[in-house]
Amino acid sequence: MSEPAAPFASSTVPLPGEAAGARALLLETASAIMREGDQVDISLSELSLRSGLNSALVKYYFGNKAGLLTALLDRDMEAIVKTVDALVEKGGMDPEAKLRLHISKVVDTYYAFPYLNRLLMRLVRESDDAEAKRIAARYLTPLYHAYDLLIGEGMRAGVFRQIDPQLFYFTLTGACDRFFSARLVLRHCFDQDTLTDELRDRYREHTIDIIMAGILARKP
């Protein structure tokens, strides 16, 4: 049985004014599929069915499915990078407050996009060297440099003890990624199948307290 034609089925070229909306809808639908399925892959047929758009538009906008996933990573990682860049430049805020705010924003971002780190690792692993280096240069390197500046500021002020910014990246990313990709653990160990706003808020405060306790300089 043939599938019903989706919008744009007669042509893969959208009309003027439709392009930005169609592209954004494909990205948001792909994000929803991965959030709901706790996965880092999508079916183009499911993407077409749920978005109401012809799957040929994936090729038109992104080249292929890998291009779509890369564009989704670009969209979602930008929030973390922009937040930490803004904190580095922000005056009038002490280093501890800056880092607490950043950890809070990272937790919220992973709550919204729990597939984020797994998608990042998949694309780095499956890309050629040039694309893997582009991803690292756009997201991983800026985060490391920002952490180097933020933590260095706190150490110079005597607020933080000696901390390796590189290891801090792995600590924070691991804490967020592990929790928000743990629905199976919640289901089978805690009889809970949903990551609620209330649980996110509790985990945010818990993560901030645990990480900052290990970073703050110990008073004599």
Tell me: the pLDDT tens digits for 61-79?
999 999 999 999 999 988 7
Do 196 and 87 lie in one domain? The reply is: yes
Mean of pLDDT values over 170-190? 80
Which CATH number goes with the domain that contains 166?
1.10.357.10
End of a domain among 40, 63, 86? 63
Reduced to 3 DSSP states, what percent helix, strand and coil does the chain have, rounded to the nearest 5? 70, 0, 25
Mean pLDDT across the stretch 157-184?
A: 88
Of 13, 32, 63, which residue sits at a domain end? 63
Q: Is residue 220 part of a domain?
A: no
Q: Band of the pLDDT at 140, cuts 50, 70, 90? A: confident
- What would the mean pLDDT of 114-121 be, rounded to a whole number? 91
Strand partners, 160: 216
Q: Please, are residues 124 and 135 in contact by the beta-carbon 8 Å criterion?
A: yes
Both 149 and 124 in one domain: the answer is yes
The yes-or-no verdict on residue 187 having pLDDT over 90 is no
Three-class SS of residue 148?
helix
Q: Please check whether residues 47 and 148 belong to one and the same domain.
A: no
Cα–Cα distance measured from residue 33 to residue 55, given in angstroms and rounded to the nearest whole number: 15
80 shares a domain with 7: no
Q: Are residues 58 and 82 in the same domain?
A: no
- Is the Cβ–Cβ distance between 114 and 181 less than 8 Å? yes
Q: Is 160 part of any domain?
A: yes
Domain that holds residue 36: 1-63
Task: Give the chain's domain count.
Answer: 2
Residues facing 216 on adjacent strands = 160
Residues 129 and 193 in one domain: yes
At 13 the pLDDT is: 47
